[in-house]
Amino acid sequence: MTKATALPSELVIAGFHALSEPLRVKVVELLRENELCVCDLCEVLEVAQSKLSFHLKTLKDANLVRSRQVGRWMYYSLNLPQFVVLEQYLSDFRRYSPMLPARPCTEQDDL
């Protein structure tokens, strides 16, 4: 009998989708230590605010970033609990799959 497994939630799917784009990964890396204003993100990433806004919305919809408005500026920070959700999802695979040690490459492998 096959063990039933739960399908990933919409937020897990959205999280991995959001992290599948290199620019969004760069945004996450920049937000790793500090909250940043959208203008600072645009400057560091050398992208137009309109382009970055699209990517920030995707990250926000996936619940990976939070935003807060100060005057006319938006500040973004990581929503770390959602990263824990993604990490826990991946860790479940470790529990059900044997982790095989890396084997050294031999000349026979190249044939």
Q: What is the pLDDT of residue 3?
A: 47
Query: pTM of the prediction?
Result: 0.78
Does 36 reside within a domain?
yes
Does 84 reside within a domain?
no
Does 88 reside within a domain?
no
Kindly state the tokens that stand for 23.
């620019």
Grouped pLDDT means (10 residues each) for the chain, 111 residues:
61 94 97 95 96 96 96 96 93 70 58 52
Q: What is the pLDDT of residue 1?
A: 40
Does 3 reside within a domain?
no
Q: Which residue range(s) make up the domain with 49?
A: 8-78
Q: What is the pLDDT of residue 98?
A: 66
Question: Which residues sit opposite 75 in a β-bridge?
Answer: 37, 68
Does 96 reside within a domain?
no
At 32, is the secondary structure helix, strand, or coil? coil
Does 70 reside within a domain?
yes
Query: Is the Cβ–Cβ distance between 70 and 81 less than 8 Å?
Result: no
What CATH number does residue 74 fall under?
1.10.10.10
- Tally the domains of the chain: 1
The secondary structure of the chain in percent helix, strand, coil, rounded to multiples of 5, reads: 55, 15, 30
